[in-house]
């Protein structure tokens, strides 16, 4: 595990974006060799995405031969809903870069069979050669994606009922109305994330320090962290 401590959100965002940019460039993807990138949503990665867009506009990085796999999506929320993770990714990142729509993989929370959707998502990751770099954030209780504390370390993409703490935390995105917050989601599993060749978790909030401290005390090995 590698820990990097920086002074502020701007530095964390820039460091993370530069790391992603450099990893893709070093990989040197092409038509027959795509770079596979796992991505999160939420407020934490917004600065990173803005930096990556900036690098793309400067001609420093292309996403033409990058395949992305997002961590999660709400169940039952229309994909064009402003708070769906599909809308989040396209509004804040994908539509500003040169990634092809068919290479940006986001779970479908309205699929006719949610279980099959999860199985197909895992199959797509496998067909792509696995995840080269999985980037994620961490919640106040230590959850990654919608994997609440106690989730199996070998869990795969699946349907999850959200914990009340998570619903309460997400209410701010739904006008503070708990009745509008989805109670279920599709999420990659802990095992899905840990199968990546490299994992990068970035944290920026005093309230998350306990989660970071616990990860070190429990000595759960990850390949990289921020």
**List 72, 117, 132, 195, catalytic entry:** 72
Beta bridge partners of 160: 185
**List 117, 122, 148, 195, catalytic entry:** 148
Report in angstroms the alpha-carbon separations of 146 from 76, 158, 160, 161, 186: 15, 10, 7, 9, 8
**What is the Cα–Cα distance from 204 to 138, expressed in whole angstroms?**
9
**List 14, 54, 108, 141, catalytic entry:** 141
Name residues whose C-beta falls within 8 Å of residue 16's C-beta, 6 or more positions apart in sequence. Answer: 45, 48, 51, 135, 200, 202, 226
- 148 in catalytic set: yes
**What is the Cα–Cα distance from 129 to 113, expressed in whole angstroms?**
25
- 143 in catalytic set: yes
**List 73, 132, 143, 195, catalytic entry:** 143
Active site members: 72, 141, 143, 148
């Amino acid at each position: 595990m590698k820990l990097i401590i920086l002074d502020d959100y701007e530095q964390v965002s820039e460091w993370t974006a530069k790391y992603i940019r450099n990893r893709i460039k070093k990989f040197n993807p092409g038509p027959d060799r795509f770079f596979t990138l796992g991505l999160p949503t939420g407020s934490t990665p917004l600065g990173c995405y803005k930096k990556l867009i900036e690098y793309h506009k400067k001609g420093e990085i292309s996403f033409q031969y990058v395949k992305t796999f997002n961590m999660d999506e709400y169940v039952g929320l229309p994909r064009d809903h402003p708070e769906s993770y599909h809308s989040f990714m396209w509004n804040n990142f994908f539509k500003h870069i040169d990634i092809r729509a068919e290479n940006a993989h986001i779970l479908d929370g309205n699929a006719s069979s949610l279980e099959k959707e999860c199985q197909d998502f895992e199959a797509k990751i496998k067909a792509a050669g696995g995840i080269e770099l999985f980037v994620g954030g961490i919640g106040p209780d230590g959850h990654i994606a919608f994997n609440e504390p106690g989730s199996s370390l070998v869990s795969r993409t699946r349907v999850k009922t959200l914990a009340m703490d998570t619903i309460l935390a997400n209410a701010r995105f739904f006008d503070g109305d708990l009745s509008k917050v989805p109670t279920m989601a599709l999420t990659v599993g802990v095992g899905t994330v840990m199968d990546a060749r490299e994992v990068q978790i970035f944290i920026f909030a005093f309230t998350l320090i306990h989660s970071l401290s616990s990860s070190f005390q429990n000595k759960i090995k990850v390949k990289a962290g921020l």
